[in-house]
Structure 1
Amino acid sequence: MTWRPDEPYNTLPLLPPTVDIETVAVLKRAIDARAAVAALDQAALRMPNPAVLLNAIPILEAQASSEIENIVTTTDELFRYAQDESDLAAPETKETLRYRTALFAGLDSIQSRPLSATTAIQVCSTVQGREMDVRNLPGTIIANPVTRTAIYTPPQGGGVIREKLANWADFIHGSAEIDPLVRMAVAHYQFEAIHPFADGNGRTGRILNILMMVDAGLLASPILYLSRFIIAHKDDYYRLLLNVTRDGAWEPWVLFMLSAVEATATATLAKIDAIQALQATVRDQVRATSAGANSDLLDVLFEQPYARIANVIQRCGVSRPTATKWLNELVDAGVLRDVKAGRDRLFINHGFLEILTRDDQG
């Protein structure tokens, strides 16, 4: 049956693709991408305090991935409520932070059981904040937002979708001869083409990308986030996805995803270098205050861009007056900025926040 954008694509071919997906061009690009990921992974493992990245990178990924779905919030809002998801947070902020929760829940899941359709359902349920299951009802269409004409109609019917998800999972685990980054790119297309849920497919699929890289042993922790690259090349992303469906154009799609991995890994490595240089500077500035050579205080300032007095009290084992004095001295020195947040004060490591949010991908 010929594919038509306005008809359910129940004949979506199963994996693996029948064409050669590891072309010479793909393998060359995969070598470069793998090298960039390996360099990033090693740099992260050498960091004295891995929480510096583990707390921040998933929040940035959550923000970018949600922005693709037109759920827009600010980095300021996300980090402000990252430690305390209070009722003061906007609905968009709470929804975006659920992405981070879903990511870590997915990581916990693949420690005990293989990545599968069940993993995808759990991730999507957390992202959406309600129990999700594969679609059973007809009527799901991806349409042009302006003309409302169909661009793509995914497979319909619970049985069909579950069959294709089972094949998707078999491909992930049963194609060890295929480069893991190539396998991730192919699996990402297939998941988005299956479009198994009524909502949340894009964000779920992007979390699954990270889980696949961790599961394949390419990364020890989820510190590579592709969503910012996808935002910057959003038209290409959707065009190349559709070209696989319409024309079987696998090579350009896989090359795009490999480029996304390489560029993002290189950019994140640049952030690590900049963070470590800033840590050395701030360490000297902390020593010039009454805190002296307090490594715990330095950790507090870099584990989150926003610190509270309570964080310093708990981590450094000091009284509230002492913690307040240390933070005020760093505000006076220009290391931190402070803002009111209800009855609390937040102390912003603005240099760290600037490194995290700037675009290092060029």
Structure 2
Amino acid sequence: RPLSTAIAVEICRTIKGTNLDIRRVPGVKLANPRTQEVIYTPPEGEALLRDKLANWERFLHESDELDPLIRMAVGHYQFEAIHPFMDGNGRTGRVLNILYLVDKQLLEIPVLYLSRYIIQNRADYYDLLLDVTRSYQWEGWLLYMLEGVRTTADWTTAKIRAIRELLGETTNYIRSTAPSIYTHEFAEQLFIQPYCRIGNLVHAGVGHRETVSKYLKVLCDIGVLEEQKAGREKLFINPRFLHLLTTDSNKYRSFA
């Protein structure tokens, strides 16, 4: 679906876990977290907010020759300046960035974690947003967002490369250490998520429940997985994969 106000509302509801909607209550102000000085007062009134969001939608979907990355950056400024929700605007806007790149076929899947760059450079992010609002200084803002895409793309590529290397090493280790349970398809199932349940692998066709349980025990014994209790369930964690997904590091413990 093309990006729209309705999708933005749906995203923010998911993020906040509440049935929220476009702001109706006045009095929202953005303040400097250190000094509490009010630095920006977004527009107020549901009708005005919806009108500005309609303009945001039209801008995103205009069919001119403006580069999609530039349009994403300008559209992100528009959305954050409108500030349509009582809370969750930043996170919603960052999700919309990635969905826009998918919509424009610059990404096949929403794998570019642009939030990492923005969070790491948060002070510049807010300063440059305000520079556009106060004095129309677009160049600094656009360069900031383009640099964010570039550095995040480099970081993501390196992360994917590390995960692929880990998959290869894990596959080779299982094949050499536990050949009786090895199949390439089984090894790949361990990288669908950083954890699995017996039921997941049964559903994937790895084997019957008793067989899968035996396979997972072997993988725990040889150090590929770690078993953890989660209520009444057993989770089988892929610790090296989890480490790659949750840290900046692309290094992991060797199987040797």
Q: What TM-score results when the alignment is normalised by the length of structure 1?
A: 0.65
**C-alpha contact 2:29 2:38 (8 A) present in aligned 1:** yes
| 1:262 Cα deviation from its structure 2 partner | 0.9
Q: What letter corresponds to residue 259 of structure 1 in structure 2?
A: E
Residue 146 of structure 2 is matched in structure 1 by 258
Q: What letter corresponds to residue 341 of structure 1 in structure 2?
A: A
**C-alpha contact 2:181 2:215 (8 A) present in aligned 1:** no
Residue 301 of structure 1 is matched in structure 2 by 190
| 1:286 Cα deviation from its structure 2 partner | 2.2
Once the two structures are superposed, residues 223-249 of structure 1 have per-residue CA deviations (whole angstroms, 9 ceiling, x without a partner) of 111111111111111111111111211
Residue 111 of structure 2 is matched in structure 1 by 223
Deviation larger for 217-226 or 332-341: 332-341
| 1:208 Cα deviation from its structure 2 partner | 0.8
Larger relative contact order (Cα-Cα within 8 Å, sequence gap ≥ 6):
1
Q: Does 1:345 pair with 2:234?
A: yes
Q: What letter corresponds to residue 148 of structure 2 in structure 1?
A: A
Residue 41 of structure 1 is matched in structure 2 by none
Residue 96 of structure 2 is matched in structure 1 by 208
The separation in 2 between residues aligned to 1:229 and 1:360, in whole angstroms, is 15
Q: Does 1:334 pair with 2:231?
A: no
Aligned length: 249
Residue 323 of structure 1 is matched in structure 2 by 212
**C-alpha contact 1:297 1:316 (8 A) present in aligned 2:** no
| 1:357 Cα deviation from its structure 2 partner | 2.2
- The RMSD of aligned alpha carbons is 1.8
The separation in 1 between residues aligned to 2:133 and 2:249, in whole angstroms, is 32
Q: Does 1:277 pair with 2:165?
A: yes
| 1:175 Cα deviation from its structure 2 partner | 5.0
In structure 2, do the counterparts of structure 1 residues 313 and 290 end up closer, same or farther at CA, with 3 Å as the change threshold? farther
Gaps (5+ residues) in structure 1? 1-109
Once the two structures are superposed, residues 195-240 of structure 1 have per-residue CA deviations (whole angstroms, 9 ceiling, x without a partner) of 0112221111111101110111111111111111111111111111
Residue 253 of structure 2 is matched in structure 1 by none
Residue 117 of structure 1 is matched in structure 2 by 5
**C-alpha contact 1:290 1:326 (8 A) present in aligned 2:** no
Gaps (5+ residues) in structure 2? 251-256
Deviation larger for 265-274 or 308-317: 308-317
| Equivalent position to 2:52, from 157, 161, 164 | 164
Q: Does 1:246 pair with 2:134?
A: yes
What SS does the aligned partner of 2:190 have? helix
The separation in 2 between residues aligned to 1:205 and 1:216, in whole angstroms, is 16
Deviation larger for 178-187 or 136-145: 136-145
Query: Superposition pairs for residues 9-158 of structure 1, below 5 Å?
Result: 110=1, 114-158=2-46
Q: What TM-score results when the alignment is normalised by the length of structure 2?
A: 0.90
